[in-house]
Amino acid sequence: MAYQTLLTDVAERIATVTVNRPEKLNALNAQAKIELRECFASLKNDTAVDVVILTGAGEKAFVAGTDIGELRGLDSAAGREFAEGGQSVFDGIENLGKPVIAAVNGYALGGGCELALACHIRLASGNARFGQPEVNLGIIPGYGGTQRLARLIGRGRAMEMILTGVQIDAQEALTAGLVSRVFPLPELMSRARAMAALIVSVGQIGVRMALKAVNMTEEVPLSEGEKLEASLFGLCCGTRDFREGTTAFLEKRKPHFTNS
């Protein structure tokens, strides 16, 4: 499907979605949010896609936030709706049911940082910068940032970023656990594709069950999470892929997974 604000490409079971408003540092306007919702809804059902990479166009920005021009006219009621709308788009990414890798290639500010937080794995280029600068605009993060950032990097560091609005660079983001790896910008996409290809090469039933289990970490207490883990583990054990994976290991050959 052709979009106005996104570029999409599918190759070797990996979809690449690029937010494409480089002249506005890929800031998310209403159209971009509508298109992200549609795009991820269609990727969810796309049997040709196992893994998604999300990035920004150009060499300067992943996404520099929500489009500030569209924020200005909001009153209290519209502001709440605005936040709920963005949250549901980002929840759709987190709950895609397939891994989403954020390849953060520059500024990830405000809604851009929150967009990366909604992905399952975050890789960054050396020039990436992360921040929740909403306090500078008299607001707070509204697309899940107060919740996901604190859960990912701890309340203290999240408070510091959200209360000061100060940006951190890629190395600081790595130390904080906000991203899992940093690469030179020219290597970022090939490294993201290599990681995606590794995920494509294993059994997708296991990948999706693991995603579901780890995604529940913050939703339920440990004892409930363990129950869920055991039941998903049991489901995996009923699959052909499980028999193939274990048999291939014992026969010292590569497994041939059929996702069944």
Residues that bind ligand COA (CB under 6 A): 24-25, 27, 64-69, 107, 109-111, 133-134, 137
Least Å distance, CB 108 to ligand COA, is 10
Q: Nearest Cα to 136, choosing from 162, 113, 114, 116?
A: 162
Least Å distance, CB 24 to ligand COA, is 4
Phi-psi region of 110 (alpha: psi -120 to 50; beta: other; left: phi over 0): left
Q: Which of 81, 114, 187, 219 is catalytic?
A: 114
List, as one string, the DSSP characters of 7-32.
Answer: EEEEETTEEEEEE--GGGTT-B-HHH
Least Å distance, CB 122 to ligand COA, is 18
Q: Indicate the residue among 83 and 211 with the shorter CB distance to ligand COA.
A: 83
Does the annotation mark 114 as catalytic? yes
Q: Which of 59, 134, 187, 251 is catalytic?
A: 134
Does the annotation mark 70 as catalytic? no
Q: Indicate the residue among 23 and 251 with the shorter CB distance to ligand COA.
A: 23
**Cα atoms in the 13 Å half-sphere on the side-chain side of 110:** 25
Q: Indicate the residue among 69 and 154 with the shorter CB distance to ligand COA.
A: 69
Q: Indicate the residue among 158 and 209 with the shorter CB distance to ligand COA.
A: 158
Least Å distance, CB 143 to ligand COA, is 9
Cα gap 102→124, rounded to integer Å: 8
Backbone φ and ψ for 6, nearest 5 degrees, come out as -130, 150
Q: Nearest Cα to 5, choosing from 14, 13, 25?
A: 25
DSSP state of 72: T
Residues acting as catalytic residues: 114, 134
